[in-house]
């Protein structure tokens, strides 16, 4: 059976570096959304808890409930307003007036501010009205946040959005004082933001995803920080055969043996969340062996007869091969694959 390994030493190495950068374990929120970027939500949450992190962010209420026992606070980033009342340590991201209005009275929220990404959040000139709704509905405003659209790019937009967030902060702090609200946690940096900046300023924490999993999203011209990929994907052999010279393997028969060669079939396919190889270009495994022909839904072929093969332990080259970002390679992997901590 195919399986995923999660390298605990690598995870802790990455977290250690990020904690130093952020200024303490309480200043990192582990972003565990989408099944922890495909790594496995519960298993990664337990490791983050063991490391000593106190906060996590997830995609939806279902994910939040499954790890709420491990953290002081779990923030739901992207979900429709829940009909049920949430546990005391689950907070909900409010991205609009409409969401604020439809939330249960008294719910814990983090208010999302649009500082230029224009994906989510209220605008700066809507802050007064939003705070009014919050006070009227006795929503517990635990945090206020924004998200950077270009923290990982070679331009200055990060600084432009940051200054807009600072301005919004001032307005919110003044209103919070006026209404006598408890202290609000402000947060803005994702991995790229944290790695790019020298200080979190008075932000309470950074929301870190991809860097924790071992990928540095910044251009190499920034001071490089060595992070180590946590996840590796392994496939196991199903069968071995000799492909005679001129025989063609797999759907469409796109690969033809140039000479008699040994090939084996392995138990990962695009049904497991791996990108489908089209057989026109061959895909290299971690050990350098190359795919033969098209990938099927549940299997693919490779030269040789190794019992198991590591398909990747670093998603960077695969991401280039499939013209995507490193995030997408692990995130797509099926939750049904077995995860093993090494």
Ligand X SMILES: *Cc1c(COP(=O)(O)O)cnc(C)c1O
**247: Cβ contacts below 8 Å, ≥ 6 apart:** 256, 257
Tell me: does residue 210 bind ligand X (CB under 6 A).
Answer: yes
> Is 251 marked active-site?
yes
From the list 185-193, 277-285, 287-295, 304-312, the region that binds ligand X by CB under 6 A is: 185-193
From the list 155-163, 201-209, 264-272, 293-301, the region that binds ligand X by CB under 6 A is: 201-209
Considering beta carbons, is residue 68 or 192 the nearer one to ligand X?
A: 192
Q: Which of residues 120-159 bind ligand X (CB under 6 A)?
A: 147
> Is 97 marked active-site?
no
Considering beta carbons, is residue 211 or 295 the nearer one to ligand X?
A: 211
Candidate list 64, 77, 134, 235; residue touching ligand X; CB under 6 A: 77
CA angle 325, 326, 327 (to 5 degrees): 90
Contact 203, 146 (CB under 8 A): no
Q: Residue 263, CB half-sphere, CA atoms under 13 Å: how many?
A: 23
Helix locations, the chain, DSSP H: 8-22, 33-37, 41-51, 61-67, 97-102, 127-136, 157-179, 191-196, 316-321, 328-331
Strands 108-112 and 185-187: unpaired
Tell me: does residue 227 bind ligand X (CB under 6 A).
Answer: no
Q: What values do phi and psi take at 203, rounded to 5? A: -65, 145
Choose the catalytic residue: 123, 138, 244, 251.
Answer: 251
- Rounded Cα distance between 14 and 7, Å, is 11
Q: What values do phi and psi take at 340, rounded to 5? A: -125, 130
Choose the catalytic residue: 27, 33, 142, 169.
Answer: 33
Contact 4, 339 (CB under 8 A): yes
Tell me: does residue 116 bind ligand X (CB under 6 A).
Answer: no
Candidate list 64, 103, 208, 295; residue touching ligand X; CB under 6 A: 208
From the list 123-131, 204-212, 273-281, 334-342, the region that binds ligand X by CB under 6 A is: 204-212
Tell me: does residue 39 bind ligand X (CB under 6 A).
Answer: no
Candidate list 82, 121, 209, 250; residue touching ligand X; CB under 6 A: 209
The distance of closest approach from Cβ of residue 284 to ligand X in the complex, given in angstroms and rounded to an integer, is 26
Query: Looking at the annotation, which residues are catalytic?
Result: 33, 251
Residue ranges binding ligand X (CB under 6 A):
31, 33, 77, 147, 190-192, 207-211, 217
């Amino acid at each position: 059976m195919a399986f995923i390994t999660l390298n605990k030493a690598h995870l802790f190495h990455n977290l250690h570096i990020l904690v130093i950068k952020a200024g303490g374990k309480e200043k990192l929120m582990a972003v565990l959304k989408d099944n922890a970027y495909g790594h496995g939500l519960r298993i990664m949450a337990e490791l983050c808890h063991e490391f000593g992190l106190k906060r996590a962010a997830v995609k939806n209420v279902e994910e939040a409930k499954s790890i709420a026992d491990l953290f002081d606070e779990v923030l739901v980033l992207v979900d429709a307003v829940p009909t049920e009342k949430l546990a005391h340590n689950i907070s909900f991201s409010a991205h609009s007036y409409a969401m604020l209005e439809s939330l249960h009275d008294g719910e814990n929220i983090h208010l999302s501010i649009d500082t230029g990404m224009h994906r989510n959040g209220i605008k700066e000139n809507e802050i007064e009205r939003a705070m009014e709704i919050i006070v009227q509905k006795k929503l517990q405003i635990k945090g206020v946040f924004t998200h950077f659209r270009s923290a990982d790019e070679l331009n200055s937009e990060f600084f432009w959005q940051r200054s807009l967030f600072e301005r919004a902060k001032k307005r919110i702090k003044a209103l919070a004082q006026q209404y006598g609200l408890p202290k609000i946690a402000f947060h803005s940096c994702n991995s790229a933001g944290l790695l790019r900046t020298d200080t979190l300023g008075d932000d309470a924490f950074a929301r870190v995803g991809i860097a924790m999993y071992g990928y540095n999203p910044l251009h190499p011209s920034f001071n490089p920080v060595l992070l180590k990929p946590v996840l590796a994907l392994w496939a196991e052999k199903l069968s071995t055969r000799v492909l005679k010279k001129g025989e063609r393997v797999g759907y469409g028969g796109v690969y033809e043996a140039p000479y008699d060669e040994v090939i084996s079939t392995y138990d990962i396919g695009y049904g497991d969340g791996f990108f489908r190889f089209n057989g026109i270009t061959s895909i290299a495994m971690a050990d350098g062996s190359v795919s033969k022909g098209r990938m099927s839904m549940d299997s693919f072929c490779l030269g040789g007869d190794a019992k198991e093969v590591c398909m990747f332990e670093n998603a960077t080259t695969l991401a280039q091969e499939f013209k995507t970002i490193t995030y997408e390679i692990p995130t797509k992997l099926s939750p049904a694959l077995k995860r093993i901590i090494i």
